[in-house]
Structure 1
Amino acid sequence: MDAFIGLLNDWIWSKPLIALCLGAGLYFSIRTRFMQVRGFAEMLRLMRSGEESKAGVSAFQALAMSLSGRVGTGNIAGVATAIAFGGPGAVFWMWMVAFLGASTAYVESTLAQIYKEVDDKGQYRGGPAYYIEKAMGQKWYAWIFAVATVLATGFLLPGVQANSIATGMATAWGIPPAVTAAAIVVGLGIIIFGGVHRIAHFAQFVVPFMALAYILVALTIMFLNIDKLPGVVALIFGSAFGTQAAFGAVLGLAVEWGVKRGIYSNEAGQGTGPHPAAAAEVSHPAKQGYVQAFSVYVDTLLVCSATAFMILSTGMYNVIGKGGAMIVEALPGVEPGPGFAQNAVESVLPGYGAGFVALALLFFAFTTIVAYYYMAETNISYINRAVHRPWMVLVLRIGILATVTYGTVRSAGAAWALGDVGVGLMAWLNIVAILILQRPALLALKDYERQKNAGIDPVFDPDALGIRNAAFWQQRLRKPQDR
């Protein structure tokens, strides 16, 4: 079974997908005139604006929900794994996929806002399945994405997060995986049975607090090792382009693992970010496009970079070549994963490092599992639009709790392989779709900038832009909703 999963993973994460991820990001950056650079100040302003409504969440809550999905084990164990198998240069390619991917995140999140709906419980729902059906007119494709997303976020990806939590807890305090599994299942069950608003309120408190604490610790380590900063930067760039002989053998792996773990972490183009983006209460879809582009920066340029610096500045990493051959052995005996980061912090803050990283993993990975549930539930809501099947949500809830339990005791390699399959499958389906459906998102960007330059708070009118099937916004213009 493990051999089959590995073969499937290699097939999905082939060079064409890596080229597609980077190429789409570059293409959208050009088409949006690098809005991720021009619009940085606007991202910060919009992040603080907006209010929660009965149907939707505030812009900041949507950002927190999105970050709860983006900021997870990929920011700690994922960065360590990328460095282990791709060398320090993998960090550069994670930066690159984040910079370019911010424009991709804008496009997919704006599309999600344009084509969102109000479900039978009066809550906003949207995502790739919705915009594929409405903008592309291909319901079969939308169903494939919806089923793939339920499979990935409900049954494949949660196990990776749970496994990292268990590994971190065992390393720091020797807590058995079974005990960790029980605690996660109880906490997750309380939250996922509470609905989207409970998820949003939980995420808006936990994610910013833990991310800030993690970055502050990383800055402390950076300050204590400030003399090593130039060397770390030189190591990353030298390894990324093969100018250092020690890493020449893993040059291609640096790109592969940097892109793979970059997409896994920041989710740009993967199709997960549009789900919380659609839940936001905004006056114009582009507003959430800007906010979600910013979330990619927070995830990779801040949190992932913090992990990378802690690992590289303290020398707590291994670099593994093809076939398992060790290219560089800076820390014998430590497996790629949370242990890299835990040993890095422990070397600077003895007695506290392993425990702190374990707690960071607990909050980061747990909130990601919660976000995965929301995404899976949204796609079940899409499937259930025609025929109401309440049992499907119950099956999802039981299934994700079972997956989390299984993931905590499964080997890390198997858990990551299953997670990569889920991420890769969604990325293939979503990136192809948004390349075809990009026009409404680009029109929305121009419309937003035009209204901003005129000094007014932008309001979206799809008919004026020639955008069809945006029923929610058309109805809103005719009869403003209660907020």
Structure 2
Amino acid sequence: MEHLFQAINNIFDFVIPVSDFFWDFPTNFSWYASIPILGNFSLAVILLIGSGIYFTLKTGFIQVTHFGKGIRILAQKKRDEIGISSLAAFFLSSAMRVGPGNILGVTGAIAVGGPGALFWMWVSAFFGMATAYTEAVLAQIFKERKKDEFVGGLPFYGKVLLGNKLWAGIALSLMYIIYAMCCLPAQGFNVVSSIGQMVEITTGASLEGTSVFYYVVALLLIAVTAYIAFGGIRKVTKVTDKVVPVMAVVYVAVVFVLILLNLHSVPYFLGAVFGGAFTPQAIFGGVFGTVLVQGVKRGLMSNEAGQGTITMAAGAANTNHPCEQGCVQSIGVFLDTMVICTLTGFVVVMAHVWTGSEAEAWFALDRLPKFLESAKALTPGTAMNAVVAFLLTFCFCLFAFTCLVGMISFSEIAANRISSRKRVIYTVRIIGIIITAFGIACSLAGIELGNLWAISDLGNILIVFANVPLLYLGAKYVFKATSHYKKNDGSAFDSSVIGHSCPYWDEEADKQS
């Protein structure tokens, strides 16, 4: 069995160079790299940050002016007979955003690009909030009603914006489903391995991958995942409504305690991040472009602004105006990067492990052990070390689990663009569960399929290249909807506002007239 897993991993050896090529293009060509200043910026960086700046300016810094409005929408108590509430959609999208990348991605970015990578995460996230707003508004404008649910997002607005071509919706749906399915093995692996690690921390004894405990956990995880997945979007949101707040609060509380215990290191953290953003240390290659790309790349992996992958949650919400969910989804990027990722950065940078005498050993570790070793360096004693390690591993486990069920759920929504027949939806659910089981089996065999992580990177950038041009095609509709929303004159939103057919909103406007 081990040979089979390793063979599968080896099949994907080609993915890493292909992924790196697309992320680095065209800086991997000497003629471009030799251009002063511009040669440091890859197309991915220009596209993501440039688009974020453009949408920020055109919407009048919507992520700042309507941040409070987004908070008030989240605080509204609203019973929805159709679709899900804005808060439920926020938790569902956060289940995807606040994933293992918030720990692994940030730690990896700092290890490769230095503390300055965190600064560029902040920059990309600030402008990414406007990009997230734009794609969420598009998801709302062109969402469709399916019985007592709404379906929408990238495959739906992509089909409309590309001339209502059936092939466009199918192609975008397949692109997301393939991307999500490639991410599932790693999430299944993370859940099982982190549960085992929590048991080892608690008992102080190591567990063999072939132990009965792991097999019981694996079977339970598959059963729970299947139960949630076959419950549909409403079942998934019931889970994320409960789990996301818990994992966010626990993570924030634990790291905040570590910061309080190490307040003297906060100035060092700020100096390392801001200094490293523009003058990377030699240990990290000394290349400005490396720091910048790591920040943007891992920022995207974390908050997913510009990918269109979170838009399925935005399209599922029942709102009074398309722009409401745009404001909400913008806050999701803030929570993910400005809060959760920053806290991870605090732990890694303030620990000083990456610069001290143990730096060589630290760099040799995988990303999660890197993070836990950093946390250990910030805790004052053995007993507290165990408590902190357990709680952080617990959060990591929940990050992975919510990401897992979110990807299966979003794949189901995307599949609705291909066909809404039950057998098609059931097939997507079953494939997702089988692939998750494969990732779990890899954990039991003690094989970490590192190359499958590279597929996530490749999937991220390919979806960006597909989604961002669509955002420009639909931008005029978003800007018109935003102007209507800001006027707040009491008039209903319908097709006449944006000059394009949006059947659901026309039906709602007719009900109000």
Q: How does the TM-score come out when normalised to structure 2?
A: 0.85
Letter of the 1:475 counterpart: E
Tell me the residue number matched to 1:469.
Answer: 501
Q: 2:359 aligns with which of 315, 325, 329?
A: 329
Q: 2:300 aligns with which of 241, 263, 270?
A: 263
Letter of the 1:76 counterpart: I
**Cα distance in structure 1, aligned partners of 2:363 and 2:302:** 26
Relative distance call for 1:216 and 1:334 in structure 2 (3 A) is: farther
Q: Deviations over 1:337-367 (max 9, x none)?
A: 2112222333313112222122101111101
Name the count of aligned residue pairs: 464
Q: 2:20 aligns with which of 4, 7, 10?
A: 10
Please tell me whether the aligned partners of residues 6 and 417 of structure 1 are also in contact (alpha carbons under 8 angstroms): yes
- Which sits farther off after the overlay, 123-132 or 409-418? 409-418
Q: How does the TM-score come out when normalised to structure 1?
A: 0.90
| Pairing 1:127–2:162 present | no
What SS does the aligned partner of 1:269 have? coil
Tell me the residue number matched to 1:108.
Answer: 135
- Which sits farther off after the overlay, 88-97 or 245-254? 245-254
Q: 2:106 aligns with which of 79, 85, 109?
A: 79
Relative distance call for 1:245 and 1:88 in structure 2 (3 A) is: same
**Cα distance in structure 2, aligned partners of 1:317 and 1:394:** 47
What SS does the aligned partner of 2:80 have? coil
Please tell me whether the aligned partners of residues 169 and 175 of structure 1 are also in contact (alpha carbons under 8 angstroms): no
| Pairing 1:423–2:460 present | yes
Tell me the residue number matched to 2:376.
Answer: 346
Tell me the CA shift for residue 182 of structure 1.
3.2
Root mean square deviation of aligned Cα:
2.3
**Cα distance in structure 2, aligned partners of 1:407 and 1:300:** 27
| Pairing 1:311–2:344 present | no
What SS does the aligned partner of 2:392 have? helix
**Cα distance in structure 2, aligned partners of 1:87 and 1:221:** 21
Please tell me whether the aligned partners of residues 210 and 360 of structure 1 are also in contact (alpha carbons under 8 angstroms): yes
Please tell me whether the aligned partners of residues 316 and 331 of structure 1 are also in contact (alpha carbons under 8 angstroms): no
Tell me the CA shift for residue 251 of structure 1.
2.9
Q: 1:369 aligns with which of 380, 404, 414?
A: 404
| Pairing 1:237–2:274 present | yes
- Which sits farther off after the overlay, 35-44 or 103-112? 35-44
Unaligned runs of 5+ in 1: 320-326
**Cα distance in structure 1, aligned partners of 2:425 and 2:354:** 42
| Pairing 1:380–2:415 present | yes
Tell me the CA shift for residue 28 of structure 1.
0.8
**Cα distance in structure 2, aligned partners of 1:21 and 1:182:** 40
Tell me the residue number matched to 1:391.
Answer: 423
Letter of the 2:397 counterpart: L
Unaligned runs of 5+ in 2: 1-10, 25-41, 201-205
What SS does the aligned partner of 1:383 have? coil
State which structure, 1 or 2, has the greater radius of gyration over its C-alpha atoms: 2
Question: What's the % identity of the aligned pairs?
Answer: 29
**Cα distance in structure 2, aligned partners of 1:84 and 1:407:** 26
Tell me the CA shift for residue 382 of structure 1.
0.9
Tell me the CA shift for residue 170 of structure 1.
4.5
Q: 2:493 aligns with which of 443, 460, 464?
A: 460
Relative distance call for 1:296 and 1:70 in structure 2 (3 A) is: same
Tell me the residue number matched to 1:272.
Answer: 309
Letter of the 1:194 counterpart: G
Q: 2:245 aligns with which of 193, 208, 223?
A: 208
Please tell me whether the aligned partners of residues 72 and 365 of structure 1 are also in contact (alpha carbons under 8 angstroms): yes
